[in-house]
Amino acid sequence: MVGRDDGASDEARLHAWIDGDAAAGNQLVKRHYRRILLFFHSKVGPELGRDLTQATFETLCANKVNFRGEASVLTYLFGIARWKLVHHVRKQRLHGERFEPLEHSAELPDVDRSITSLFMGRQRETLLVRALRSLPLDDQLVLELKEYEGMTSRQLAEVFEVGRDTMSSRINYARQRLTAAGAAGGRIGAADRLDADRARRVHARDPRAHRRRGRGG
């Protein structure tokens, strides 16, 4: 049995879970619950974020025996989360409108307003967040997972189920699109890219930050 404080890897915990060790499964969920929740929060808000996080771990539980070790447990988990998000956005489209994450941004006005309100009075951060949100969904996810989660191109390739060279190109294209979107929105250049990430990190780390700001706290 995998112990609570034995420093077991994700893979060891998953295999113990497959072998019937429910405690190992609970430990694996606890280890990654918050990072999956934050992945969803800035895209769909807190309530739906919790629902989609729960759905992600339910899918991991249901499909855990299919894990082949071709990716890490972490990237496998984020891959599930990405598809949950894409499926959710597609369901929200009216009249079966086509949605492709490589081509289309995810327009969620209520969430966009709450993010923008966090940076009220800080024009550059607001413009950068808007620039990020204007990108196709997969571009947003690539940049966020790379800059915030610190994923390598190999790990990102596992999440998106593409080759490593393809992912390296996607990272470069996503950065170029962010720079172009920022410049179009407010003459913001490439040097501000890290400020955009800093703005996104503040919102992701504390989902309640925009409410505190709204109360003047």
pLDDT tens column, 13-23: 999 999 999 99
Q: Indicate the pLDDT class of residue 198, thresholds 50, 70 and 90.
A: low
At residue 196's C-alpha, the angle toward residues 112 and 46, to 5°, is: 35
pLDDT tens digits, 34-52? 999 999 987 888 899 999 9
Torsion angle of C-alpha atoms 180, 118, 31, 139, degrees rounded to 10? -20
Distance, CA of 70 to chain centre: 21
Torsion angle of C-alpha atoms 203, 208, 213, 216, degrees rounded to 10? -160
In the block, tokens 């503040």 appear at 202
pLDDT score for 141? 93
Q: Is the pLDDT of residue 4 over 60?
A: no
8 CB-near residues (< 8 Å, 6+ apart): 2, 16, 24, 27
pLDDT tens digits, 175-190? 999 888 877 765 444 4
Is residue 188 a contact partner of residue 131, using CB atoms and an 8 Å limit?
A: yes
| Tally of CB atoms within 10 A around 137 | 21
Q: Is the pLDDT of residue 210 over 80?
A: no
